[in-house]
Protein backbone atom coordinates (compact mmCIF):
# COMPACT_ATOMS: atom_id res chain seq x y z
CA UNK A 1 0.00 0.00 0.00
CA UNK A 2 1.75 3.12 -1.19
CA UNK A 3 0.13 6.52 -1.51
CA UNK A 4 1.24 10.02 -2.38
CA UNK A 5 -0.78 13.07 -1.36
CA UNK A 6 -1.97 15.43 -4.09
CA UNK A 7 -1.98 19.08 -3.08
CA UNK A 8 -2.86 20.55 -6.46
CA UNK A 9 -4.50 23.95 -6.40
CA UNK A 10 -8.00 23.73 -5.04
CA UNK A 11 -7.49 20.38 -3.33
CA UNK A 12 -9.43 19.83 -0.09
CA UNK A 13 -7.61 20.34 3.22
CA UNK A 14 -5.39 17.53 4.47
CA UNK A 15 -7.89 16.37 7.12
CA UNK A 16 -10.63 15.96 4.51
CA UNK A 17 -8.37 14.03 2.17
CA UNK A 18 -7.31 11.76 5.01
CA UNK A 19 -10.99 11.12 5.84
CA UNK A 20 -11.69 10.11 2.25
CA UNK A 21 -8.60 7.90 1.99
CA UNK A 22 -9.34 6.19 5.29
CA UNK A 23 -12.94 5.53 4.24
CA UNK A 24 -11.67 3.99 1.00
CA UNK A 25 -9.26 1.82 2.97
CA UNK A 26 -12.05 0.70 5.30
CA UNK A 27 -14.03 -0.36 2.23
CA UNK A 28 -11.03 -2.18 0.78
CA UNK A 29 -10.17 -4.15 3.92
CA UNK A 30 -13.61 -4.95 5.31
CA UNK A 31 -14.79 -4.99 8.93
CA UNK A 32 -12.39 -7.51 10.46
CA UNK A 33 -8.96 -6.18 9.51
CA UNK A 34 -6.52 -5.41 12.33
CA UNK A 35 -5.54 -1.92 13.45
CA UNK A 36 -2.87 -0.56 15.77
CA UNK A 37 -5.57 0.39 18.28
CA UNK A 38 -5.37 -2.36 20.89
CA UNK A 39 -8.39 -4.66 20.77
CA UNK A 40 -9.99 -2.89 17.80
CA UNK A 41 -10.46 -4.09 14.26
CA UNK A 42 -11.66 -1.88 11.41
CA UNK A 43 -15.37 -1.94 12.36
CA UNK A 44 -14.47 -0.87 15.91
CA UNK A 45 -12.33 2.01 14.67
CA UNK A 46 -14.91 3.14 12.10
CA UNK A 47 -17.60 3.08 14.81
CA UNK A 48 -15.41 5.13 17.13
CA UNK A 49 -14.88 7.77 14.45
CA UNK A 50 -18.61 8.02 13.69
CA UNK A 51 -19.57 8.22 17.36
CA UNK A 52 -16.85 10.77 18.11
CA UNK A 53 -18.32 13.39 15.80
CA UNK A 54 -21.99 12.45 15.82
CA UNK A 55 -23.23 11.31 19.23
CA UNK A 56 -23.46 13.09 22.61
CA UNK A 57 -21.91 10.09 24.37
CA UNK A 58 -18.58 11.07 22.78
CA UNK A 59 -18.25 13.36 25.79
CA UNK A 60 -17.00 10.20 27.49
CA UNK A 61 -13.68 10.77 25.73
CA UNK A 62 -12.98 13.59 28.19
CA UNK A 63 -15.46 12.89 31.00
CA UNK A 64 -14.69 9.51 32.60
CA UNK A 65 -18.14 9.15 34.25
CA UNK A 66 -19.64 9.02 30.74
CA UNK A 67 -17.18 6.47 29.34
CA UNK A 68 -19.53 3.54 29.99
CA UNK A 69 -22.31 5.22 28.01
CA UNK A 70 -19.86 5.97 25.20
CA UNK A 71 -18.67 2.36 25.07
CA UNK A 72 -22.21 0.99 24.96
CA UNK A 73 -23.15 3.36 22.13
CA UNK A 74 -20.03 2.43 20.19
CA UNK A 75 -20.86 -1.25 20.64
CA UNK A 76 -24.29 -0.60 19.15
CA UNK A 77 -22.65 0.93 16.10
CA UNK A 78 -20.43 -2.11 15.56
CA UNK A 79 -23.46 -4.30 14.89
CA UNK A 80 -24.78 -1.95 12.22
CA UNK A 81 -23.99 -2.87 8.60
CA UNK A 82 -20.33 -2.11 8.04
CA UNK A 83 -20.92 -0.24 4.78
CA UNK A 84 -23.40 2.03 6.56
CA UNK A 85 -20.91 2.89 9.29
CA UNK A 86 -18.16 3.60 6.76
CA UNK A 87 -20.44 5.84 4.69
CA UNK A 88 -21.45 7.78 7.79
CA UNK A 89 -17.78 8.41 8.48
CA UNK A 90 -17.06 9.29 4.85
CA UNK A 91 -19.78 11.95 4.75
CA UNK A 92 -18.65 13.62 7.97
CA UNK A 93 -20.45 14.83 11.08
CA UNK A 94 -24.19 15.54 11.10
CA UNK A 95 -25.32 19.06 10.32
CA UNK A 96 -25.92 19.89 13.99
CA UNK A 97 -22.42 18.87 15.11
CA UNK A 98 -19.96 21.59 16.23
CA UNK A 99 -17.47 19.82 13.98
CA UNK A 100 -19.35 21.36 11.04
CA UNK A 101 -18.23 24.84 12.10
CA UNK A 102 -15.70 26.59 9.81
CA UNK A 103 -12.18 25.48 10.59
CA UNK A 104 -13.25 22.64 12.86
CA UNK A 105 -12.24 19.89 10.45
CA UNK A 106 -8.66 21.12 10.28
CA UNK A 107 -8.37 21.93 13.99
CA UNK A 108 -9.95 18.75 15.33
CA UNK A 109 -9.35 16.11 12.67
CA UNK A 110 -5.93 16.71 11.13
CA UNK A 111 -4.24 14.40 13.62
CA UNK A 112 -7.29 12.20 14.24
CA UNK A 113 -7.71 11.19 10.63
CA UNK A 114 -4.02 10.96 9.81
CA UNK A 115 -3.13 8.86 12.85
CA UNK A 116 -6.07 6.49 12.48
CA UNK A 117 -5.42 6.17 8.75
CA UNK A 118 -1.93 5.01 9.64
CA UNK A 119 -3.33 2.79 12.43
CA UNK A 120 -5.07 0.81 9.72
CA UNK A 121 -2.32 0.98 7.09
CA UNK A 122 0.53 0.02 9.42
CA UNK A 123 -1.33 -2.89 10.96
CA UNK A 124 -1.36 -4.67 7.59
CA UNK A 125 1.55 -6.98 6.71
CA UNK A 126 2.26 -5.23 3.40
CA UNK A 127 2.38 -1.65 4.67
CA UNK A 128 4.94 0.86 3.48
CA UNK A 129 5.44 4.44 4.59
CA UNK A 130 3.72 7.04 2.43
CA UNK A 131 5.75 9.81 0.84
CA UNK A 132 3.69 12.81 1.85
CA UNK A 133 4.34 15.94 -0.16
CA UNK A 134 6.01 18.90 1.52
CA UNK A 135 2.79 20.86 2.07
CA UNK A 136 1.22 17.96 3.97
CA UNK A 137 4.33 17.42 6.06
CA UNK A 138 4.34 21.14 6.85
CA UNK A 139 0.68 21.00 7.87
CA UNK A 140 1.46 18.20 10.33
CA UNK A 141 4.52 20.05 11.62
CA UNK A 142 2.60 23.26 12.21
CA UNK A 143 -0.10 21.46 14.17
CA UNK A 144 2.51 19.53 16.16
CA UNK A 145 4.59 22.54 17.15
CA UNK A 146 1.51 24.43 18.32
CA UNK A 147 0.47 21.52 20.54
CA UNK A 148 3.79 20.04 21.56
CA UNK A 149 3.16 20.44 25.29
CA UNK A 150 -0.05 18.46 24.93
CA UNK A 151 1.92 15.48 23.67
CA UNK A 152 5.08 15.86 25.75
CA UNK A 153 3.77 16.38 29.27
CA UNK A 154 6.04 16.43 32.30
CA UNK A 155 8.88 14.63 30.51
CA UNK A 156 11.55 13.04 32.74
CA UNK A 157 14.26 14.74 30.66
CA UNK A 158 14.34 17.81 28.38
CA UNK A 159 13.07 16.92 24.92
CA UNK A 160 13.91 18.45 21.56
CA UNK A 161 11.70 17.47 18.61
CA UNK A 162 13.15 18.23 15.21
CA UNK A 163 12.19 17.72 11.59
CA UNK A 164 14.80 18.07 8.86
CA UNK A 165 14.40 21.36 6.91
CA UNK A 166 11.50 22.53 9.12
CA UNK A 167 13.18 23.28 12.43
CA UNK A 168 12.76 22.14 16.01
CA UNK A 169 10.66 22.68 19.10
CA UNK A 170 11.68 22.03 22.69
CA UNK A 171 10.08 21.11 25.99
CA UNK A 172 12.14 22.17 29.04
CA UNK A 173 15.73 23.44 28.96
CA UNK A 174 17.38 21.54 26.12
CA UNK A 175 20.77 23.10 26.88
CA UNK A 176 21.09 20.46 29.58
CA UNK A 177 23.29 17.36 28.94
CA UNK A 178 20.31 15.15 29.78
CA UNK A 179 18.42 16.30 26.67
CA UNK A 180 16.88 13.71 24.39
CA UNK A 181 16.40 14.61 20.72
CA UNK A 182 13.69 13.05 18.54
CA UNK A 183 14.34 13.38 14.82
CA UNK A 184 12.09 12.42 11.94
CA UNK A 185 9.71 13.62 9.30
CA UNK A 186 6.66 15.35 10.77
CA UNK A 187 4.39 12.43 9.90
CA UNK A 188 6.61 10.01 11.80
CA UNK A 189 6.97 12.37 14.77
CA UNK A 190 3.19 12.78 15.00
CA UNK A 191 2.72 9.01 15.08
CA UNK A 192 5.52 8.54 17.60
CA UNK A 193 4.11 11.16 19.96
CA UNK A 194 0.65 9.62 19.64
CA UNK A 195 2.06 6.46 21.21
CA UNK A 196 2.87 4.52 18.01
CA UNK A 197 6.54 4.35 18.96
CA UNK A 198 7.11 0.87 17.54
CA UNK A 199 5.58 1.79 14.18
CA UNK A 200 7.18 5.19 13.59
CA UNK A 201 10.54 5.95 12.02
CA UNK A 202 12.03 8.34 14.59
CA UNK A 203 15.66 8.55 15.73
CA UNK A 204 16.05 8.98 19.50
CA UNK A 205 19.39 10.44 20.60
CA UNK A 206 20.89 11.31 23.96
CA UNK A 207 23.02 9.76 26.67
CA UNK A 208 22.08 6.21 27.64
CA UNK A 209 20.47 7.11 30.95
CA UNK A 210 18.35 9.89 29.45
CA UNK A 211 17.21 7.76 26.53
CA UNK A 212 16.21 4.96 28.89
CA UNK A 213 14.27 7.36 31.12
CA UNK A 214 12.50 8.74 28.07
CA UNK A 215 11.66 5.29 26.73
CA UNK A 216 10.03 4.43 30.07
CA UNK A 217 7.99 7.63 30.00
CA UNK A 218 4.32 7.12 29.26
CA UNK A 219 3.14 9.40 26.49
CA UNK A 220 0.03 11.39 27.32
CA UNK A 221 -1.96 10.51 24.16
Residue 6 to residue 133: CA distance in whole angstroms: 7
- Given a contact cutoff of 8 angstroms between Cβ atoms, the answer to whether 126 and 3 are in contact is no
List beta partners, residue 180: 159
**Whole-angstrom Cα Rg for the chain:** 18
- Given a contact cutoff of 8 angstroms between Cβ atoms, the answer to whether 136 and 58 are in contact is no
Residue 121 to residue 112: CA distance in whole angstroms: 14
Sign of the CA dihedral 146, 151, 153, 156?
Answer: negative
Q: What's the whole-number mean pLDDT along residues 21-37?
A: 98
Beta strands in 103-202 (DSSP E): 159-163, 167-171, 180-183
Residue 100 has pLDDT above 90, yes or no: no
Residue 86 has pLDDT above 70, yes or no: yes
In degrees and rounded to multiples of 5, residue 54 shows phi and psi of -145, 15
Residue 139 to residue 157: CA distance in whole angstroms: 27
Domain boundaries, the chain: 14-104, 134-216
pLDDT value of residue 85 = 97
Confidence of residue 96 (pLDDT cuts 50, 70, 90): confident
pLDDT value of residue 41 = 98
Residue 85 to residue 42: CA distance in whole angstroms: 11
Confidence of residue 70 (pLDDT cuts 50, 70, 90): confident
Residue 212 to residue 216: CA distance in whole angstroms: 6
pLDDT value of residue 137 = 97
Which one, of 102, 95, 106, lies nearest residue 19 by Cα?
A: 106
Amino acid sequence: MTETSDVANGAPPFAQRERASLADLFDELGPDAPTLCAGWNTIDLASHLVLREGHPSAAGLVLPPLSGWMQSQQKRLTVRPYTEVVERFRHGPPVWSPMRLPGAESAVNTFEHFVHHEDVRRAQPSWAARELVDDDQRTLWNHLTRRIRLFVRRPPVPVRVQAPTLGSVSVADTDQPSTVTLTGDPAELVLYLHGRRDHASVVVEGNDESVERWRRHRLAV
